[in-house]
Amino acid sequence: MTVTLITGANKGIGFETARLLLAAGHDVWIGARDAGRGAKAAAELGARFVQLDVTDDASVAAALATVDAEAGRLDVLVHNAGILDTNLDGPTALRSFDTNAVGIVRVTEAALPLLRRSESPNVVTVSSSAGSFWAVTNPERPEFGLPIALYAASKAAATMLTVQYAKAHPGIRFNALEPGTTATDMTASFGIGRTPAESAAVVARLATLGADGPTGTLQDENGTLPF
Ligand SMILES: NC(=O)c1ccc[n+]([C@@H]2O[C@H](COP(=O)([O-])OP(=O)(O)OC[C@H]3O[C@@H](n4cnc5c(N)ncnc54)[C@H](OP(=O)(O)O)[C@@H]3O)[C@@H](O)[C@H]2O)c1
């Protein structure tokens, strides 16, 4: 059975991705920073729960140690946890980068020993086209006018980390994606987006790519996106 860990999976796109991957036969671990919310979400789906705060080294280490003890390896890792804060100041910058970018480093580094024990290791980063230099400098793209500087910058870092990890670990697939504008708690104040289930299908597609799939790419539901 494919062993899969999804960070920030207690709600939104991560939760619906867990549902799809369970249906595809994966043994899914729901990572959530809040034990109550995470355990409730896991029980609802019939998934496993592990406490995992991507901003906390000890929490990340404990979470991967739990997966290691129970499953002995990790086949699919989905970096989904993220925050969007429209403020532009030092503390918001630190929080945004800590969650959206540094969190990827923490979880990847802790997961690498487990991923190396997989026959077909696959890491998917739920990034954003708001972090694409191509999109934000193209007046014809919606990302051009978005006033979300720290989110965009931290997602650019998330995509770059994905590319750097792909280059450093040719035996592991690392791809980043834009899931599509989605109506979740993150975007509630904008009142936009499609259902989380629709966007989760984009995540699930990359999470179920075979060993001959691409690595080091940024994709959306239509295929490869320019960086
Ligand atoms: N919605 C969109 O239109 C859109 C577009 C492009 C990309 N994305 C990306 O898609 C991903 C999922 O977002 P969403 O729209 O589903 O938003 P969401 O419903 O707000 O879900 C975000 C998830 O991340 C978790 N999280 C936040 N900080 C965390 C931390 N420090 N440690 C662990 N988990 C943490 C949240 O947990 P709590 O419940 O504890 O807060 C929640 O489970 C994000 O990376 C987001 O940037 C979304």
Contact between residue 3 and residue 76 where contact means Cβ atoms under 8 Å apart: yes
User: Atom of ligand 1 at shortest distance to CA of 34?
Assistant: 40
Q: Measure the CA–CA gap between 88 and 49, rounded to whole angstroms.
A: 34
Distance of CA 11 from the midpoint of ligand 1 (Å): 8
Domain that holds residue 83: 3-224
Contact between residue 144 and residue 137 where contact means Cβ atoms under 8 Å apart: yes
Say how many domains are in the chain.
1
- CB 126 less than 6 A from any atom of ligand 1: yes
> Phi/psi zone of residue 191: left (φ > 0), alpha (ψ -120 to 50 degrees), beta?
left
Q: What's the pTM? A: 0.99
Distance of CA 14 from the midpoint of ligand 1 (Å): 7
pLDDT tens readout for residues 7-60: 999 999 999 999 999 999 999 999 999 999 999 999 999 999 999 999 999 999
Nearest CA to ligand 1 atom 5: 181
Angle among Cα 157, 7, 159 to the nearest 5 degrees reads: 20
* CATH code, 75: 3.40.50.720
User: pLDDT value at position 6?
Assistant: 99
Considering all CA atoms of the chain, what is the largest pairwise distance in Å, rounded to the nearest integer? 50
Q: To test the ligand 1 pocket, which listed residue (40, 83, 219) has its Cβ within 8 A of the most ligand atoms?
A: 83
User: pLDDT value at position 134?
Assistant: 98
Tens-level pLDDT at each residue, the chain (227 residues): 999 999 999 999 999 999 999 999 999 999 999 999 999 999 999 999 999 999 999 999 999 999 999 999 999 999 999 999 999 999 999 999 999 999 999 999 999 999 999 999 999 999 999 999 999 999 999 999 999 999 999 999 999 999 999 999 999 999 999 999 999 999 999 999 999 999 999 999 999 999 999 999 999 999 999 99
Contact between residue 178 and residue 9 where contact means Cβ atoms under 8 Å apart: no
Annotated active-site residue 132? The verdict is no
Pairing of strands 223-224, 218-220: antiparallel
Please state the φ and ψ torsions of residue 179, each to the nearest 5 degrees.
Answer: -80, -15
- CB 41 less than 6 A from any atom of ligand 1: no
Residue type for 37, please? R
Annotated active-site residue 128? The verdict is yes
User: Atom of ligand 1 at shortest distance to CA of 193?
Assistant: 3
Residue (of 199, 207, 55, 201) closest to 120 by Cα position: 207
Q: Measure the CA–CA gap between 203 and 205, rounded to whole angstroms.
A: 5
Residue 139 half-sphere exposure toward CB, CA atoms < 13 A: 0
User: pLDDT value at position 207?
Assistant: 98
